[in-house]
Amino acid sequence: MSSIRSVFNFKVFWQNFRSAQGLLLVAMIIYQAGILINCFSLSRAPEVMQVAAFSEISGIVSFLACFLLPLATCATLFDFLFSKKKSDLVFSSPVPRKTLYGSNWAGGMLFLLINVLIAALMLHITLLRNPQLIVENGVVIRFLILWGLSMMMVYSFCCLAVSLTGNRFVQFVLVAVLTLLPGWFHYTFQTQFYNYDQLSQTEFSNSKATDTLTNPYSMRIVKDEGRTDTLPYIAFDQLTSSLSGMRQSFRVTDYNNHTAFSYSRCWIMLINTLAASALGCWAFIRRKVEVAETSFISEAAHEAVRIAAFVPIFYTLGMKDWISALLYAGILLILYHLYDYLARREFISLRKTLISFLAVVVIAALIRFPMRILVRREASRQIPIEEVSAVGIAPSSLAGTRQYEALLKLRLEDPELIRLIFKSNAKNEYTEGSINMIVRFYQGQGYSDFYVNFSPDQIPPLEAILSANDQYQLLYRGLDPQSVYWIEANGTSAGLDKSQVDQLARQLQQEQQQQSFSDLLHETKQIACRQSEDSYCFLSLALISFENGERTEQNVDLLRYQSVFQLYSSFVNQQFLKTYADHVRFLDFYSMYDNQLEQIRQQSELDYESFNLRLSEWLAENLPEQLQKAPLSSEEFMTLAYYDSQRQRQGAIFIEKNEKWQEFVSSLTQPE
């Protein structure tokens, strides 16, 4: 007990903690408020089943607070290191330096863990009170581990920085470098800015068959419905993933940036925490009493330099355009001035702040153009056909799934297939009759992934080559029904339970086994149809799985599988009759190609309320009979989306336009 007291003294910790003057409380409120906001957003639609990703549970506000809270804790507990008078008073006290450091270090760790524990408890209560939330197993424990280790690691780096020097500029640099830079270096230099496990658009040097494949003269990596991700953004995403074990992002775009829980990352964070804590204790014990001066040349120049020093790091990590550059510069400026206020308890003048901000913009301009030239030079290089030793090929509809990765890892060393791919139309445009595939070109130890569209005249030889490969056929039809956790159609969840999902996945697997490879291959044509103006030209069934804690989805065209469509429509229609039929106050509806129901309503001269009431009554009486025959085309059925009393979309049902439906329409439009 005496040995513990020699390291940790609660009175020492409490005296330093009380000097926070509410700043620690503000940082804690920001963190807990972020968690609370996310909990409310997760439970905003209690009637709808939804899959909650870890990135949604954690939240961007809490992610920022993951840095703010440890920084504020360290600046508060080690406040005496920023003042000559306080430093002399503390170091002249009889309290040993080992006890002083250990008390503040252990007390800060305890404070951070209590905050994470409270957040995890709020999350656990939210999940218990909202059974419609579908989350991966152990998400609360993972939340506790990841956020706890993340905060502990950042806090230990802060303690090390303040122990090594009293210069706030050097402290901030140390924390930024130790926390952020390793993950970025690992990603950037491993990928060589471009050629590693990335998805890129491609173009040919001309419209004829050539022996070289050229990347576009830009930094585009993925283009999805007009949204473009760039290399710095991907590097920034990887950096945050390396830091805290979660695929979080500050982007406006929305692609699957969900959590990938990794025990190896947890061990790395724990080792970094222990190493930084031990080194910080050693430096604190041997620290000189004097407090280092923080200014040189002039205060304004110092502020400009200390802010601009981080522009290379943050610019190469996350800046996509000039708007993003100014945004990140402003965020960095605010974070540093908050840190400076925590240290000095005074704000810098507006004039000096503007000078700092202008310095950020100027240095960003000096860095931006060489960086663009470097990336463009790498992105514009050509891939000769002689350098391609093998290819992997998979339909774009499987992107992100285990089946997709297995197909791309299968190295096909067929020269005829390679020549066929180089003759294909690699522009990211859908043409009638073509199919969209993703091709991986293996070059030595590296590889590059490309979107490739095969024209109708190239599909028969492609089918012949792939059909002859038994291993490829086995992987192509390798749907695992047990891995499917949730199902959505056209982006709308139907609230199916796990038994219904398993039944639907098994039915889909059986139909896929029975269909020819040619029919399965042409399914990518239907997926590409989603990019056209007619967004409802097919029914997209998304099979959602969790691979190592990360959400993946496989898209199939539901109209190709008649028994699956009939089974799915029966599930969702019965769910509608059972749960919503007596409570629907508003119906929004659409058909596959035109709004036929709205035309019927206008012909009937009924208002929306009366028309929806008549429609709901007819559905309650006749809907089961509508499922006797699976629709064979989009002309034979209609899709109705239904809303609750708050006009929030709850799902969709499918009805067949048979004789009874025609009678119902006639009764509305031609009343007796």
User: 3-class DSSP state for residue 452?
Assistant: strand
Structure tokens at 333: 């400026």
**Helices 311-318 and 322-344, axial angle in degrees (round to 10):** 140
Question: Which pLDDT score, from 0 to 100, does residue 478 have?
Answer: 66
Answer yes or no: is pLDDT of 610 > 60.
Answer: yes
Answer yes or no: is pLDDT of 133 > 70.
Answer: no
Answer yes or no: is pLDDT of 31 > 80.
Answer: no
Using pLDDT thresholds of 50, 70 and 90, give the confidence band for residue 138: low
Digit-coded pLDDT (tens) for 401-420: 667 777 888 888 778 887 77
Question: Which pLDDT score, from 0 to 100, does residue 222 have?
Answer: 28
Question: Which pLDDT score, from 0 to 100, does residue 59 have?
Answer: 55
CA dist list (Å): 231 to 81, 216, 376:
40, 14, 11
Alpha helix positions (H), 319-469: 322-344, 350-379, 402-409, 415-422, 459-467
Question: Which pLDDT score, from 0 to 100, does residue 631 have?
Answer: 55
Give mean pLDDT, residues 312-337: 54
Question: Which pLDDT score, from 0 to 100, does residue 22 have?
Answer: 53
Question: Which pLDDT score, from 0 to 100, does residue 153 have?
Answer: 84
Digit-coded pLDDT (tens) for 522-541: 655 444 444 334 434 446 67
* Higher pLDDT pick, 269 / 200: 269
What are the boundaries of each domain within the chain? 2-194+228-374, 562-669
* Residues facing 652 on adjacent strands: 641
Using pLDDT thresholds of 50, 70 and 90, give the confidence band for residue 118: confident
Question: Which pLDDT score, from 0 to 100, does residue 232 have?
Answer: 33
Answer yes or no: is pLDDT of 507 > 80.
Answer: yes
Neighbours of 521 (CB within 10 A): 20
Question: Which pLDDT score, from 0 to 100, does residue 665 have?
Answer: 81
Q: Are 6 and 98 in contact (CB under 8 A)?
A: yes
* Higher pLDDT pick, 631 / 531: 631
Answer yes or no: is pLDDT of 30 > 70.
Answer: no
Q: What's the per-residue H, E or C state across 579-646? A: HHCCCCCEEEEECCCCCHHHHHHHHHCCCHHHHHHHHHHHHHHHHHHHHCCCCCCHHHEEEEEEECCC
Whole-angstrom distance, CA of residue 457 vs CA of residue 38? 51
Digit-coded pLDDT (tens) for 433-473: 677 777 787 877 777 777 777 777 777 888 788 777 777 77
Amino acid at 396: S
Question: Which pLDDT score, from 0 to 100, does residue 131 have?
Answer: 57
Structure tokens at 471: 């291993």
Q: Are 329 and 311 in contact (CB under 8 A)?
A: yes
* Higher pLDDT pick, 326 / 50: 326
Give mean pLDDT, residues 208-227: 30
Q: Measured in whole angstroms, how far is the alpha carbon of residue 476 from the centre of its chain?
A: 27
Using pLDDT thresholds of 50, 70 and 90, give the confidence band for residue 611: confident
Structure tokens at 554: 């496989």
Torsion, CA 367, CA 371, CA 374, CA 379, rounded to 10: -170
Structure tokens at 264: 């190896």
Using pLDDT thresholds of 50, 70 and 90, give the confidence band for residue 339: low
Total residues belonging to the chain: 672
Using pLDDT thresholds of 50, 70 and 90, give the confidence band for residue 649: low
HSE-up (13 A, CA, CB side) for residue 419? 5
Answer yes or no: is pLDDT of 3 > 60.
Answer: no
Structure tokens at 378: 């790498």
Using pLDDT thresholds of 50, 70 and 90, give the confidence band for residue 607: confident
* Residues facing 394 on adjacent strands: 438
CA dist list (Å): 148 to 144, 244, 552:
6, 9, 27
Using pLDDT thresholds of 50, 70 and 90, give the confidence band for residue 263: low
Question: CB-based contacts of 293: which residues, under 8 Å, 6+ apart?
Answer: 167
Lowest mean pLDDT among 90-99, 585-594, 654-663: 585-594
* 266-286 residues labelled b (16+ CB within 10 A) or e (exposed): bebbeebbeebbeebbebbee
Q: What's the chain's average pLDDT? A: 62
Question: CB-based contacts of 21: which residues, under 8 Å, 6+ apart?
Answer: none
Question: Which pLDDT score, from 0 to 100, does residue 646 have?
Answer: 52
Structure tokens at 460: 């028969």
What backbone torsions phi and psi does residue 459 show, to the nearest 5 degrees? -70, -45
Question: CB-based contacts of 135: which residues, under 8 Å, 6+ apart?
Answer: 51, 52, 57, 127
Answer yes or no: is pLDDT of 152 > 80.
Answer: yes
Lowest mean pLDDT among 51-60, 232-241, 642-651: 232-241
Structure tokens at 603: 């012909």
Q: Are 117 and 110 in contact (CB under 8 A)?
A: no
Give mean pLDDT, residues 622-638: 60
Using pLDDT thresholds of 50, 70 and 90, give the confidence band for residue 215: very low
Q: Give the rounded percent of residues in the chain with a pLDDT score beyond 90.
A: 0
Using pLDDT thresholds of 50, 70 and 90, give the confidence band for residue 323: low
Complete DSSP assignment for 524-585: HHHHHGGGSS-TTSS-EEEEEEEETTEEEEEEEEGGG-HHHHHHHHHHHHHHIIIIITTT--
Answer yes or no: is pLDDT of 577 > 50.
Answer: yes
Whole-angstrom distance, CA of residue 642 vs CA of residue 655? 13
HSE-up (13 A, CA, CB side) for residue 408? 25
Question: Which pLDDT score, from 0 to 100, does residue 277 have?
Answer: 87
Helices and strands, counts by H and E, the chain: 26, 17
What backbone torsions phi and psi does residue 514 show, to the nearest 5 degrees? -85, -25
